[in-house]
Structure 1
Amino acid sequence: MIKIPKNVLIILAFFSIYVIWGSTYLLNKIVVAELPPFMLASIRFIVAGILIFIIAIIMGKSIKVSIKQLINTVIAGFLFLTLGNGLMVWALMFVDSGFTALEISAQPLLVLILMRIHQGKKIKLMSYIGVILGVIGIYLLVSQKEIVSQEGSVTGMIMIFICMLSWAYGSLFVGKANLPSNYFVNTGYQMVVGGLMLFIASILFGETWSSPTMWSNKALWSMLLLILFGSIVAFTSFNYLLKVVSPDKVATSTYVNPIIALILGWYFLNEQISTQSVIAAAILLTGVYFINTKKKLTIFRRFSSSGNK
Structure 2
Amino acid sequence: MTPPAAGAGTPAPGTPGASGPEPGTPPGTDAGAEPGSALTAVPGAASAVEDEVAAAPGRRISGPVWAALAIVYVVWGSTYLGIRVVVETMPPFLSAGARFVTAGLILAAIVAWRQGPSALRATRAQLVSAAVVGLLLLLGGNGLVVLAETAVPSGLAALLVAVVPAWVVVLRRASGERPGVGAYGGVLLGLAGLAVLTLPGLSGDVRLWGVLTVVAATVMWSVGSFSSSRIPMPGNPFAASAFEMVAGGIGCLLVGLGRGEQQGFVLAEVSGRSWTALAYLVVFGSLIAFTAYAWLLHSAPLSLVATYAYVNPVVAVLLGALVLGEQLTWPIAVGGAVVVAGVCLIVSTERRR
1:241 deviation in Å? 6.9
2:74 is aligned to 19
Aligned match of 1:32 in 72, 87, 90?
A: 87
- How far, CA to CA, are the matches of 1:249 and 1:107 in structure 2? 18
Structure 1 partner of 2:196: 140
Query: Which residue, 270, 279, 282 being the options, matches 1:224?
Result: 279
Q: Which residue of 2 aligns with 1:59?
A: 114
Q: Does 1:126 align with 2:182?
A: yes
2:279 alignment partner AA:
L
Aligned to 1:76: 133
> What CA deviation, in whole Å up to 9, does each residue of 1:213-236 have, x standing for no partner?
542221111011100111123345
Change (3 A) 1:235 1:295: closer
d(CA) in 2 for partners of 1:267 and 1:22? 13
After TM superposition, the structure 1 = structure 2 runs for residues 183-222 of structure 1, keeping only pairs within 5 Å, are 183-208=237-262, 210=265, 213-222=268-277
Matches within 5 A, 1:94-109: 94-109=151-166
User: 1:149 aligned to 204, 217, 232, which one?
Assistant: 204
Contact residue 86 and residue 274 of structure 2 kept, 8 A: yes
Letter in 2 for 1:123: P
Unpaired stretches in structure 1, ≥5 consecutive residues: 297-309
Partners of 1:36 and 1:74 in 2: CA distance: 23
Q: Deviations over 1:139-170 (max 9, x none)?
A: 2221137x74146x211111111110111111
Amino acid at match of 2:102: V
Q: Are 1:293 and 2:335 matched, yes or no? A: no
Return the alpha-carbon distance in structure 1 between the equivalents of residues 173 and 298 of structure 2.
Answer: 19
Tell whether the 8 Å contact from 1:171 to 1:242 is kept in structure 2 after alignment: no
Mean CA deviation greater in 283-292 or 244-253: 244-253
1:115 matches 2:172: yes
How many residues are aligned here?
Answer: 289
Amino acid at match of 1:143: L
Q: Name the structure with the higher helix share.
A: 1
| Residue 172 in structure 1 maps to residue 229 in structure 2 | no
Report SS of the residue matched to 2:229.
helix
Residue of structure 1 aligned with 2:148, choices 88, 91, 111: 91
**Aligned-partner residue type, residue 172 of structure 1:** F
Alignment partner, residue 303 of structure 1: none
Offset at 1:132? Answer: 2.4
Corresponding letter in the other structure for 2:237: Y
Q: Structure 2, unaligned stretches of length 5 or more?
A: 1-48, 53-60
For the structure 1 residues 211 and 248, does the alpha-carbon distance in structure 2 shift closer, same or farther, using more than 3 Å as the test? farther
Q: 1:237 to 1:250 in 2, by over 3 A?
A: same
CA gap of 1:170–1:249, structure 2 versus 1, over 3 A, is farther
Cα deviation, 1:245-285, whole Å, max 9, x if unaligned, reads: 99998765330111111111001100000133222222221
> Which residue does the alignment assign to 2:98?
43
TM normalised by structure 1 equals 0.83
SS of the residue aligned with 1:177? coil
1:166-185: CA deviations, max 9, x gaps? Answer: 11111122223322222321
The amino acid across from 1:19 in the alignment is V
Cα deviation per residue 1:44-78 (whole Å; 9 max; x = unaligned)?
01111111122122214322221111101101110
Residue 128 of structure 1: how far off its partner (Å): 2.6
Inter-CA distance 178–240: structure 2 relative to 1 (3 Å threshold): farther
1:276 aligns with 2:335: no
CA 1:82–1:240: 2 relative to 1, 3 Å: farther
User: Which amino acid in the other structure matches residue 180 of structure 2?
Assistant: K
Moved more, 87-96 or 279-288: 279-288
DSSP-derived class of the 1:93 partner: coil
Contact in 2 for aligned 1:266/1:273 (Cα 8 Å): yes
Percent identity reads: 30
Do the aligned partners of 2:197 and 2:332 also contact (CA within 8 Å) in 1? Answer: yes
Q: Is the 8 A contact 2:199 2:331 kept in 1?
A: no
* 1:182 alignment counterpart: 236
Distance 1:295 1:51 in 2: 34
Which AA in structure 1 matches 2:161?
I
Greater relative CO (CA pairs within 8 A, separation 6+):
1
- Larger Rg over CA atoms: 1
1:160 aligns with 2:184: no
RMSD across aligned C-alpha pairs, in angstroms? 2.9
Aligned mates of 2:237, 2:67 — CA distance in 1: 15
Q: Equivalents in 1 of 2:140, 2:178: separation in Å?
A: 29
